[in-house]
Structure 1
Amino acid sequence: MKAIIPVAGAGTKLRPHTYTQPKALIPLAGRTILSIIIDQLVDAGITEFVFVVGYLGEKIQHYVEKKYPQLTCHFVQQNSREGTGHALSLTRDVVGNDEVLIVLGDTICECDFKEVIAAPYSMLGLKKVDDPRNFGVAELDETGRITRVVEKPQIPKSNLALVGLYKIKETQQLYECLQSNIDNRIKSHDEFQLTDALECMIEHGVQFNGFKVSNWFDCGRKDTLLETNAILLKKYKLASNPVLPYENTIIIPPVSIGEGCNIKNAIIGPNVAIGDNTVINYSIVKDSIIGSFSNLYEVVLKASLIGSDANIRGLSQSLNIGDNTEIDLG
C-alpha cells in the first residue's frame, strides 16, 4: 500500500505565514503538521509515500528527504490548483494498481490506522459535526455502508463529515472516475473534488464503509491551529528540557522548546511551542507558536502565531506575523 499526501495548497487562510512556508511545515507541538501525519502512517507500516506538491514544493521535498531518508518517496508536481480531485489524478502513473491511503496534508486524525489498512473494503474516515455544510458529507445505511457522498451540501442529509482520510482498494476505478470528471468538466464549488470521484465509484458499485475517527484536528486557520497546538502539547506531555535551565525564567507546562534557544528573564507557557535557535528576553509568552531563529524582546504575547526569522521588539497582545518579518513596537 502507498500513502498519498496532497500538500500543494497555498494555505491562504494562514497568510502571511504561507507566503514563505508551506502550511504542512508550520510548527506544531514541537513537530510539524506533516511530520505528525507521516509518523502516524509509518507506525502503521507504510513505507512508500506520494506527495502532491505545488506552491513552495521544493521545501516539502527537502524536508521529507532530510527527515525521512529511510522512506521511499515520490513527488508529483501540481502546477495549477484545481482541487483535490485534480491533484490525485496526477499520481496515477506512480501508484499503478496498488491500494492507497489518502491523507490530506492539513488535517490530523487519530484512529487505528492498522485496522483501517487491513479492512476488506474501501473506507472513509468520518466525524460528526455541528454544521456539515462546510465539509464533504457521507450518508450511510443501517449496515454502515456509505450510500452517497456530497461536497459541501446546502441541505445536508447527514452530519457525518469526511475528515480527509480515505483508504481506497479499487484504485483503477478511482483514477477512471477522476479522469472522467476532469474530461467532462464535472466540478463542485469550481474545483475537481475527490468527493465527486468517490460518488462516481459508489454509483458504479464500489463498496465504501465508514469509520469514525476519535479526534480530528483542523490545522487550516490560526485559531484552530493554536487550539490543536495546545491539545497536542498536553497529549505529548511536552515541557522544557530540565537539564537546560533558562536564566531567571519560569516555564509553565505544557511547553515545547527547540534546540539552541536562548531564553532569559521570561515567563513561557502554558501551551507554547518554540522553534530552534530562537532568542527570547524580558518577555511573556502563552498560548502561542513561535518559529525558529526568531528574536523576541520586551513583548507580551498571547494567542499569537509568529513565523521564523521574525524580530519583535516592544509590546503586543496578539500577533499574526509571517517569516522574515521585523517589527519594532516600542
Structure 2
Amino acid sequence: MKIIVPMAGMGKRMRPHTLTVPKPLVPIAGKPIVQRLVEDIAKVCHEPIEEVAFIIGDFGKDVENRLLKIAESVGARGTITYQDKPLGTAHAILCAKESLEGNVVVAFADTLFKADFTLDTSADGTIWVQQVEDPRPFGVVKLNDNGEITDFVEKPEHFVSDLAIIGIYYFKDGAYLREELQYLLDNNILDKGEFQLTNALENMKNKGTRFIPGKISEWLDCGNKDATVYTNQRYLSYLQDSEDLVAGSAQINNSVVIPPVFIGENVILDNAVVGPYVSIGNGTQVSDSVISNSIVQENTVIKFANITNSMLGSFVSYKGTQADLSLGDYNALKE
C-alpha cells in the first residue's frame, strides 16, 4: 500500500500560523496534522505501508526532513515531489506519478477523520464522503440503489447530492489512475479553470470502474483557526483513554490540569489552570494564567492571561488578560 499526500497549498486561511510552517505541520494534540492523517490511514489499511509520497511546494529542507520522519514512523519509505503551480487536484496527484502503482490511498492534508473499519482492498475504488448541510463548496457524489457511486460533481451550483467528498480516496490500480490523470492534462480538460480529480473519476467510472463510498464517524476540518482548535478538542477527547498525554519532564507547580490536555516535554506551569482541551508544545512556560480550549506551540511564554478558543505559535511572548487569540510565531504582545 502507498499513501499519496498532496500538500503544496499555501494555507492562506490559517495565517499567521502558516507564515513560517505549512499548514499540515501545525500540531493537533501534539502531532502535526499530516502525521495524524498518515497514522489514521495506516490504522484502517491494516497492511504494511510501503511508501508515503508527499507533494509539496518550496517548503525547505527542514520541512522535507520532518515529512520523511513521519513516513518512517509508520514503517514506510518517504518520498518528496513538488507542485510548482496550483493547477488543481488532478495535477497535484500526478506530480507523484512515479508513486502511482498498485494499491494507493490519496489523502489531501487539510482534513482529518475518525473511522472504525478495515479498508476493503478488493474494491476498485473507495471515496470517503460525509453528509453536509451545504454541498456547494465541495465535490459531491450521487449513489444508486446498490450504494455504488454513479456521479461525481465538482462544487455544484444547484443541489444534486449532500454527500461531500472529504479528500481521501482508495484506488486498487494506481497506474490506471495515473493514466486517467495524464489524459486530462494532455487534452487540457479543465473544470472551473483547473484539472480536477473528479473528472478523472468520472472517466474511470464510465469505463467500468466500480466506486463505493467510504463511511466515517467524524470529519474534522483544519481550514482555519476556529476549525483547527475544534479538531484539537476532538482529538484530545479520542486520545485521553489510550495515550499518556502529559510528558514526564513537564514541571507542574501549584497548578491545576483539567483533562483532556496535551503537555509536551519541558513545559513549565506555575500558578496556572490548564484545560480542558488544551495542547501545549515543548518548552512552553505558562504562569499566573488560565487556558482552555486552545493550542499553544513550542517555546512560548504566557503570563497573567485568560485565554480560550485560541492558537498561539512558537516563540510567542504574551502578557495580557482575557482573550480569543490567533498569534503566529515570534509575536510579542502585552496588555
For 1:246-325, what aligned pairs fall within 5 Å after superposition? 246-325=252-331
One-letter amino acid of the counterpart of residue 301, structure 1: I
Structure 2 counterpart of 1:49 = 52
Q: 1:241 to 1:60 in 2, by over 3 A?
A: closer
Runs of 4+ in 1 over 6 A off after TM superposition: none
| CA distance in structure 1 between the partners assigned to 2:189 and 2:254 by the alignment | 61
CA shift digits 1:69-89 (9 cap, x unpaired): 342111111111212211111
Letter in 2 for 1:141: N
The aligned residue for residue 24 of structure 1 is 24
- 1:93: Cα distance to partner? 2.0
1:150 to 143, 148, 153: 153
Shift of 1:263: 1.3
Give a deviation string over 1:275-329, Cα, whole Å, max 9, x none. Answer: 1000111111111000101111112111111111111122241111111222222
Matched, 1:84 2:89: yes
Aligned partner letter, 2:11: G
Classify the secondary structure of the residue corresponding to 1:189: coil
Q: CA deviation at 1:242?
A: 7.8
By how many angstroms is 1:101 displaced? Answer: 0.7
1:210 maps to: 213
Q: SS state of the match for residue 17, structure 1?
A: coil
Write the distance in 2 (CA, Å) between the matches of 1:275 and 1:305.
Answer: 12
- Structure-2 residue corresponding to 1:109: 113
Cα shift readout 1:260-282 (whole Å, capped 9, x = no counterpart): 11110111111100110001111
In 2, are the aligned partners of 1:8 and 1:57 still within 8 Å (CA)? no
Is the Cα–Cα contact under 8 Å of residues 139 and 164 in structure 2 kept in the other structure?
yes
Please state whether the residue corresponding to 1:132 is helix, strand or coil: coil
TM norm structure 1: 0.93
Gaps of 5+ in 1: none
What is the match of residue 130 of structure 1? 133
Q: CA deviation at 1:112?
A: 4.6
Alignment partners' CA distance in 2, 1:202 and 1:325: 50
Deviation at 1:57, TM superposition (A): 5.3
- Distance in 2, matches of 1:40 and 1:86, equals 25
CA-atom RMSD in angstroms: 1.9
Q: Would the aligned equivalents of 2:251 and 2:269 in 1 still touch at CA under 8 Å?
A: no
Match of 1:7 in 2: 7
Q: 1:160: how far off? A: 0.7
Question: Any stretches of 5+ residues in structure 2 without a counterpart?
Answer: none
Query: Residue 66 of structure 2: which of 60, 63, 67 is its match?
Result: 63
**Is 1:99 aligned with 2:103?**
yes
Name which of 73, 76, 79 aligns with 1:74.
Answer: 79
1:308 alignment partner, SS class:
coil
Does the 8 A contact of 1:10 with 1:55 survive in 2?
Answer: no
Q: 1:30 to 1:261 in 2, by over 3 A?
A: same
Shift of 1:243: 8.2
Match in the other structure for 1:201 = 204
Deviation at 1:183, TM superposition (A): 2.8
Determine helix, strand or coil for the equivalent of 1:253.
coil
Q: Percent identity?
A: 34
Q: Under a length normalisation based on structure 2, what TM-score does the superposition of the two structures give?
A: 0.91
Contact 2:250 2:267 (8 Å CA) reproduced:
no
Residue 9 of structure 2 is aligned to residue 34 of structure 1: no
Counterparts in 2 of 1:188 and 1:55: CA distance versus 1, 3 Å: farther
Match in the other structure for 2:190: 187
Instruction: Describe the SS at the equivalent of 1:312.
Output: strand
Q: Distance in 2 between matches of 1:296 and 1:319?
A: 12
Partners of 2:251 and 2:60 lie apart in 1 by 38
- Of stretches 221-230 and 106-115 in structure 1, the one that deviates more from structure 2 is 106-115
Question: In 1, are the aligned partners of 2:125 and 2:210 still within 8 Å (CA)?
Answer: yes
Q: How big is the shift at 1:51?
A: 0.8
Question: Shift of the alpha carbon at 1:188?
Answer: 2.8
| Inter-partner Cα distance in structure 2 for 1:57 and 1:82 | 21
AA matched with 2:97: R
